[in-house]
Amino acid sequence: MPEASSVSFKVVSSLDELAMVLFVRGCVFVEEMQFAYEDEFDGTDSSATHLLALEGAEPIAAARVRYLDGAARIERICVRKAYRGSGIGDRLLRYTLSTIDQSGYSRSSVFADGRLVGWYRNHGFEIEREVTYANGEAGYEMLRSGEAPKPEPKLSPRLDALSDSTEDKRKPSKDERICRISGKRFEVSDSDREYYDKLEVPEPTLCPEERSRRRMAFANQRNLFPRECAATGKRIVTNVPPEDSVPVYDILYWWSDKWDRFATGRDFDFKRPFFEQFRELMAEAPRPNLQRAAQLDENSDYTNYAGENKNCYLIFDSDKNRDCYYSYSINSCEDVVDCFRADKCELCYECIDCSNVPAELR
């Protein structure tokens, strides 16, 4: 069992440290708890902040945080079996909450089974609602709210925002800003300021990369989950995670006249921030399960941000395709598999950024 003084905690800042996080999670969730590999490593790690506990150079505990719906969601918190019983979990959770506070978020959420409710309550969480997991077991969504301190631009929680190994101590110039999430410097030009003034909005506090991540996380094109239609009970697949409480309708029902689109409407309060009210509306207004032209598709239910496809499976940002699978941003293609940015191609496999490749040229 490690001594308290020999254990250190840090925000992951390199691919080597991310590998340590994944090693810890593999030991606990996959090997010990027998979770399916594809369930544990669900494709969202690249958009998360990761926390790591080390005893010397040995990784012993880990956690991750994703920023969703105005709250910091704590996930995958775990301690390797040999290091339990010495308070490592408590210290890791306190460090995680401190990191969240410094990032500017005042609300934290976590999903816990009944055995951990008391533990999370000791750290300021309270039950918000009961949930049912995919395996049929009951759990709880728990929230912790508090006044977060003013964020300091010193953390570098995002992996690909951390290529520089040394901290830049220079004072930012007139046209520079420091991202409050990644700590990277970015420039605000005079033309940018003119645009912000025209829109009557403040200058950004996040670097362009962080802003791009948030836009991509908002869209969620490629991560799909099983759910039930909140209106009909029909089993559906959606890009909205099952733990998100927002109502999700089958897209054909969503487009129909069988429900009142104005039921969740509300007046705009000009005394309150726009995005605060927009978040409240987004939490209540029903969403379609996927973004696709369902009326024009044929046998292509497992596609998103796509339309006019036939016999297609797991293609995204793609239109007017036939018999295509596992691809992104393909258009007017036929018999294409594992391709990226293909246009008017046929019988292609693992092709990138190609167009007008007919079958006779293969």
The span from the CA of 85 to the CA of 276, in Å, is 41
**Whether 75 and 89 share a structural domain:** yes
Residue 69 covered by a domain? yes
- The mean pLDDT value for 339-350 works out to 95
CA 199 vs CA 195, 231, 275, 279: distances in Å: 6, 39, 15, 20
Q: What's residue 322's pLDDT?
A: 97
69 pLDDT above the threshold of 90: no
Pick from 32-36, 223-227, 313-317: least confident: 32-36
The span from the CA of 225 to the CA of 287, in Å, is 14
How much of the chain exceeds pLDDT 70, in percent? 88
Q: What's residue 175's pLDDT?
A: 72
- The mean pLDDT value for 286-298 works out to 93
**Whether 134 and 110 share a structural domain:** yes
CA 287 vs CA 153, 247, 284: distances in Å: 35, 6, 9
The span from the CA of 155 to the CA of 148, in Å, is 15
b (16+ CB within 10 A) / e for 260-288: eeeeeeeeeeeeeeeeeeeeeeeeeebbb
**Whether 29 and 112 share a structural domain:** yes
Is residue 166 very low, low, confident or very high in pLDDT (cuts 50, 70, 90)?
A: very low
Residue 160 covered by a domain? no
Q: What's residue 161's pLDDT?
A: 39
Three-state DSSP at 270 gives coil
164 pLDDT above the threshold of 50: no
Q: What's residue 150's pLDDT?
A: 37
Three-state DSSP at 32 gives helix
Question: Residue 330's beta-bridge partner residues?
Answer: 342
**Whether 13 and 123 share a structural domain:** yes
The span from the CA of 190 to the CA of 103, in Å, is 27
248 pLDDT above the threshold of 60: yes
**Whether 134 and 179 share a structural domain:** no
pLDDT tens for each residue of 184-241: 888 888 888 888 899 888 888 888 888 888 787 777 888 899 999 999 999 999 999 8
**Average predicted confidence (pLDDT) for the chain:** 85
**Whether 89 and 47 share a structural domain:** yes
Domain total of the chain: 4
CATH number of the domain where residue 21 is located: 3.40.630.30
Residue 161 covered by a domain? no
Instruction: Supply the pTM of this predicted model.
Output: 0.48
Pick from 126-140, 305-319, 328-342: least confident: 126-140
Pick from 10-14, 43-47, 357-361: least confident: 357-361
Q: What is the DSSP string of 106-162?
A: -EEEEEE-GGGHHHHHTTT-EEEEEEE-TTS-EEEEEEEE--PPPP-TT---SGGG-
Question: What residue type is assigned to position 161 of the chain?
Answer: A
Pick from 158-167, 199-208, 340-349: least confident: 158-167
152 pLDDT above the threshold of 70: no
Is residue 133 very low, low, confident or very high in pLDDT (cuts 50, 70, 90)?
A: low
Residue 284 covered by a domain? yes
Cβ–Cβ < 8 Å for 66, 247: no
Q: DSSP secondary-structure letter at 56? A: T
**Whether 46 and 141 share a structural domain:** yes
